Amino acid sequence: MANQNQWQILREEIRRQYELFDSLTLRCIEEYSNSGKRIHCGKGCCECCNLAVNSTYSEALCVAEILTEAQTALIKAHADKLLKHIAEVSDLKSYLGMQRKIIGFCPLLTDNRACGVYGQRPFSCRSLLSTLDNAWCATDFALLSPAEKTAFMESLDRQAVAFPMHYLAASRDLGQQFESRSALALAATFGFTLSGNLPFLIYLEKEYGLGSIMCHGYSVTMDFLRQAGLFNPFLVTVEKI
């Protein structure tokens, strides 16, 4: 059976991977800037924190262990809201729409529009770099006319972006690779992976100590999540390897 020491090893590995990831991402930004263009992200810019943010459980644990009581309370309120509205969701599109319109910003965003856990934010947050003005990060594309969507797509630098989005492809791809590596490390330790909505995973750890439950294996974990009414595929993904 896996144990807490293994979680410690996984968390330490994630933190090493964050350092490596950040240095590789800096290189991506430099390469993009050398072509005479610029990345629009900066401090206090946070429209992307209104999107659904996913992570592996190891990444969520790195955040969970540094939270203040006030942040923990905000995470709980956010998770309660998610649980209240998730039954209204029927597909990915409605989940993403609910996140943006009803659930709102990440509870870890501070009043001065900074990330409250910046050093421990997951790969998905680290990898999102915008090649366009942040107004595009706040845009609900479902509300654009066909002509506006066409104009947006024609404005994109297709060599650089993760088309049809305006985010840098190189850092997006790196983020996916590092996240997969984190999932593989989980699978090697527990025999299954667990990932999902970042605030919800943090809530599962702070409220229920799911990391300890995971040490008992896939079946115990799934039984717990189902019996507690906490299993929803938009919020938690568990894959047996």
Q: Please report how close the Cβ of residue 197 comes to ligand SF4 at its closest, in angstroms.
A: 11
Our measurement of the distance from residue 218's CA atom to the centroid of its chain's CA atoms, rounded to an integer in Å, reads 22
CA atoms within 13 A on the CB side of 210: 29
Q: Cβ closer to ligand SF4: 10 or 53?
A: 53
Does position 103 bind ligand SF4 by CB under 6 A?
no
- Give the contacts of 239 (CB within 8 A, at least 6 positions apart): 187, 192, 193
Q: Please report how close the Cβ of residue 217 comes to ligand SF4 at its closest, in angstroms.
A: 29
CA atoms within 13 A on the CB side of 226: 7
Does position 204 bind ligand SF4 by CB under 6 A?
no
Contact 107, 203 (CB under 8 A): no
Take residue 3 and report the two structure tokens written for it: 């144990």
The beta strands (E) that lie in 2-158 are given as: 54-56
Among 60, 79, 89, 137, binds ligand SF4 (CB under 6 A): 137
Does position 74 bind ligand SF4 by CB under 6 A?
no
Q: Cβ closer to ligand SF4: 49 or 67?
A: 49
Q: Please report how close the Cβ of residue 26 comes to ligand SF4 at its closest, in angstroms.
A: 15
Among 41, 96, 156, 238, binds ligand SF4 (CB under 6 A): 41
Our measurement of the distance from residue 102's CA atom to the centroid of its chain's CA atoms, rounded to an integer in Å, reads 18
Does position 96 bind ligand SF4 by CB under 6 A?
no
Does position 125 bind ligand SF4 by CB under 6 A?
yes
Does position 201 bind ligand SF4 by CB under 6 A?
no
Does position 128 bind ligand SF4 by CB under 6 A?
yes
Among 52, 79, 82, 108, binds ligand SF4 (CB under 6 A): 108
Take residue 106 and report the two structure tokens written for it: 């990440």
- DSSP letters spanning 170-188: HHHHHHHHHHHHHHHHHHH
Q: Please report how close the Cβ of residue 110 comes to ligand SF4 at its closest, in angstroms.
A: 8
The DSSP secondary-structure symbol of 141 reads: G
The beta strands (E) that lie in the chain are given as: 54-56, 192-197, 236-240
Among 2, 24, 29, 45, binds ligand SF4 (CB under 6 A): 45
Q: Cβ closer to ligand SF4: 124 or 193?
A: 124
Element (H, E) at 97: helix 92-98
Does position 165 bind ligand SF4 by CB under 6 A?
no
Residues forming a β-bridge with 56: 195
Question: Which residues contact ligand SF4 (rule: CB under 6 A)?
Answer: 40-41, 45-49, 53, 106, 108-109, 115, 117, 121, 125, 128, 130, 134, 137
